[in-house]
């Protein structure tokens, strides 16, 4: 043993030192920050508009049902363009593609504020979504291609501001702008930060030649089937509950189209030589389970942003600005915590951070499952704080672990799939929550009505008291007063049924996050992956093309 010691020491002395992390130029950081500012604006725009949708509908003369297409058109265009962005960036070059779409996003943001009727608004929102949707995956792609592995957590923390902070703070900004400045400013608010974003991208992204020849080599069958399938699926999810799902021939037809097109897309992607998206990445353990966790995160993230304003509006009678102030506490703590996450990732296993984040996010939903008539701003404060902490801890480490080991040539596919899955999760989550809310309200109403039967003495006594109240307050006819009394009791029962139904939706969100937590436990530590988890070429990974 002693004879071998000098040899070991000598080997240690002569071994090459671990190379220091390469320095990142200011130009690269400007590109990453500018791209993330664009992603932040694109995600923020969805929630800002949703928070002010009633005002927009009233201003352009749209009905409640048809006005929903103002959001749906944006979401359809966005989810279609996200998977296309990696390929289109190769065709037109990253700089040209990103700058063009950033500029068009601002143009159509301003145009939306000038729309006079519903058809105009739907068309403009669709184009705005198609250009804004580009900004989300491109920001993610730049992070995992321009930054070295050691600096990627910082870039992913910036991306988390768009993925989790923007949806949380969107209703706050939208409510304030609508109540104090007018609905047009929910679109004008994009202009100044958008101009800054364009300036940052213009000076930081290096020009590169376009590869228009790739258009002829494009996976056009995959593009067409994917676009049709995703557009049909998104429409089904957005409009299904309103149209009674499969009770509507329109929804049935769209569902068949979505199923056929998406199955065809899968077949095409696994058989063509140069697929639009490399779906084989899903077979990799970390990316596959990371995608599942990200999908469930989308359900909870966008679902909670949908369900909480619904509760505050229907049950508590809050306006857009008041709702925004309540939701601000799901966003503001994230602004403080997210910048600290990269340091936590250096000190702790990222999988532990993700697990803690999902556990806290789930816990915040379970804190809301015993709601009462008095459950409002004060009662929601701590659940919102816990939710904010959980969301801040999840996104950056989940992105880092899921994409560890992804080769440079697969970065576009990984970015497109990862971001599309989160958005798709949001669409599925909102559709499911709408349906659950409707069905559970009906269930709880039926149960509660059994307790307020006219056969019960307490019910008859209450009707008599309310009848007398209405007669003392200007209702001369006793029959009319009795009718009002019965209607008032019915309203109380329905309100209580809705409160119980909202509690059920929070329980469902908590369960979804527990499943996401389980998926997280199946992830491997990035350092255990081939190539140390770094973003490398296939040659360095020892994999065949």
3-state helix, strand, coil in the chain (%, to 5): 80, 0, 20
Q: How far apart are CA 179 and CA 193, in angstroms?
A: 21
Tokens for 453? Answer: 């039967």
pLDDT in tens, 154-189: 999 999 988 888 888 888 898 888 888 988 999 999
pLDDT in tens, 6-43: 444 444 444 444 455 568 899 999 999 999 999 999 99
Q: What is the CA radius of gyration of the chain?
A: 26
- pLDDT above 80: residue 88: yes
Mean predicted confidence (pLDDT) in 384-409: 92
Tokens for 102? Answer: 């950033």
DSSP state of 275: -
The predicted pLDDT at position 391 comes to 94
pLDDT in tens, 115-126: 888 889 999 999
Per-residue pLDDT band for 400 (boundaries 50, 70, 90) equals very high
The predicted pLDDT at position 545 comes to 32
- pLDDT above 90: residue 230: yes
The predicted pLDDT at position 47 comes to 85
Q: How far apart are CA 378 and CA 147, in angstroms?
A: 43
pLDDT in tens, 196-219: 999 999 999 999 999 998 888 889
Q: How far apart are CA 382 and CA 42, in angstroms?
A: 29
Per-residue pLDDT band for 94 (boundaries 50, 70, 90) equals very high
- pLDDT above 90: residue 100: yes
The predicted pLDDT at position 64 comes to 60
Environment class of residue 262 by beta-carbon count within 10 Å: exposed (0-12), middle (13-18) or buried (19+)? Answer: middle
The predicted pLDDT at position 23 comes to 80
Q: How far apart are CA 192 and CA 91, in angstroms?
A: 29
Q: Give the mean pLDDT of the chain.
A: 86
Per-residue pLDDT band for 270 (boundaries 50, 70, 90) equals very high
Environment class of residue 349 by beta-carbon count within 10 Å: exposed (0-12), middle (13-18) or buried (19+)? Answer: middle
Higher-confidence residue of 66 and 336: namely 336
The predicted pLDDT at position 362 comes to 97
Per-residue pLDDT band for 472 (boundaries 50, 70, 90) equals confident
Higher-confidence residue of 51 and 28: namely 28
The predicted pLDDT at position 544 comes to 33
- pLDDT above 70: residue 529: no
Q: Comparing 285-289, 368-372, 434-438, 538-542, which segment has the lowest mean pLDDT?
A: 538-542
Higher-confidence residue of 405 and 205: namely 205
- pLDDT above 90: residue 3: no
Higher-confidence residue of 61 and 81: namely 81
Per-residue pLDDT band for 455 (boundaries 50, 70, 90) equals low
Q: Helix H segments across 52-151?
A: 53-60, 64-67, 69-92, 94-113, 118-146
Q: Among the ranges 231-245, 281-295, 314-328, 459-473, which has the highest mean pLDDT value?
A: 281-295
Helix (H, G, I), strand (E, B) or coil at 241: coil
The predicted pLDDT at position 536 comes to 44
The predicted pLDDT at position 478 comes to 76
How far does the chain reach from its first CA to its final CA, in angstroms?
Answer: 46
pLDDT in tens, 491-515: 888 899 999 999 999 999 999 999 9
Residue with tokens 């190539």: 531
Query: For residue 22, what are the CA distances in angstroms to 25, 139, 260?
Result: 9, 21, 48
């Amino acid at each position: 043993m002693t004879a071998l010691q000098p040899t070991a020491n000598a080997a240690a002395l002569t071994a090459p030192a671990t190379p220091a992390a390469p320095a990142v130029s200011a130009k690269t950081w400007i590109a990453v920050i500018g791209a993330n500012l664009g992603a932040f604006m694109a995600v923020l725009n969805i929630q800002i508009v949703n928070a002010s949708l009633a005002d927009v509908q009233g201003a352009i003369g749209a009905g409640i049902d048809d006005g929903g297409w103002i959001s749906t058109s944006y979401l359809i265009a966005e989810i279609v363009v996200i998977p296309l962005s990696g390929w289109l960036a190769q065709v037109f070059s990253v700089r040209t593609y990103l700058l063009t779409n950033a500029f068009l996003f601002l143009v159509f943001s301003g145009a939306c504020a000038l729309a006079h009727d519903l058809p105009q608004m739907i068309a403009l929102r669709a184009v705005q979504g198609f250009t804004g949707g580009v900004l989300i995956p491109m920001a993610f792609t730049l992070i995992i291609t321009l930054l070295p592995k050691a600096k990627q957590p910082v870039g992913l923390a910036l991306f988390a501001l768009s993925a989790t902070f923007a949806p949380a703070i969107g209703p706050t900004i939208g409510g304030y702008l609508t109540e104090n400045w007018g609905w047009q400013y929910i679109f004008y608010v994009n202009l100044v930060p958008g101009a800054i974003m364009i300036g940052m991208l213009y000076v930081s992204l290096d020009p590169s030649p376009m590869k228009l020849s790739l258009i002829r080599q494009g996976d056009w069958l995959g593009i067409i089937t994917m676009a049709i399938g995703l557009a049909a699926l998104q429409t089904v999810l957005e409009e299904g509950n309103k149209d009674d799902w499969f009770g509507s021939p329109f929804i049935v037809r769209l569902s068949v189209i979505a199923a056929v097109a998406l199955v065809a897309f899968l077949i095409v992607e696994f058989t063509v030589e140069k697929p639009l998206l490399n779906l084989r990445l899903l077979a990799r353990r970390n990316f596959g389970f990371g995608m599942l966790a990200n999908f469930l995160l989308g359900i909870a993230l966008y679902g909670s942003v949908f369900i909480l304003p619904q509760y505050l509006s229907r049950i508590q009678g809050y306006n857009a600005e008041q709702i925004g102030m309540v939701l601000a506490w799901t966003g503001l703590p994230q602004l403080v915590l997210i910048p600290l996450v990269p340091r936590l990732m250096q000190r702790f296993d990222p999988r532990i951070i993700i697990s803690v984040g999902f556990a806290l996010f789930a816990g915040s939903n379970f804190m809301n499952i015993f709601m009462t008539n008095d459950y409002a701003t004060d009662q929601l404060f701590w659940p919102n704080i816990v939710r904010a902490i959980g969301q801040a801890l999840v996104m950056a480490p989940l992105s880092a672990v899921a994409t560890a080991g992804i080769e440079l040539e697969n970065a576009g596919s990984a970015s497109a799939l990862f971001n599309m899955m989160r958005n798709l999760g949001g669409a599925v989550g909102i559709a499911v929550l709408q349906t659950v809310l409707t069905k559970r309200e009906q269930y709880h109403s039926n149960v509660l009505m059994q307790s307020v039967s006219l056969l019960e003495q307490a019910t008859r006594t209450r009707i008599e008291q309310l009848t007398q109240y209405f007669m003392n307050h200007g209702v001369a006819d006793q029959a009319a007063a009795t009718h009002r009394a019965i209607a008032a009791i019915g309203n109380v029962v329905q309100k209580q049924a809705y409160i119980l139904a909202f509690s059920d939706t929070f329980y469902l969100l908590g369960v979804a996050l527990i499943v996401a937590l389980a998926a997280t436990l199946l992830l491997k530590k990035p350092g255990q992956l081939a190539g140390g988890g770094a973003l490398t070429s296939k040659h360095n990974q020892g994999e065949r093309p």
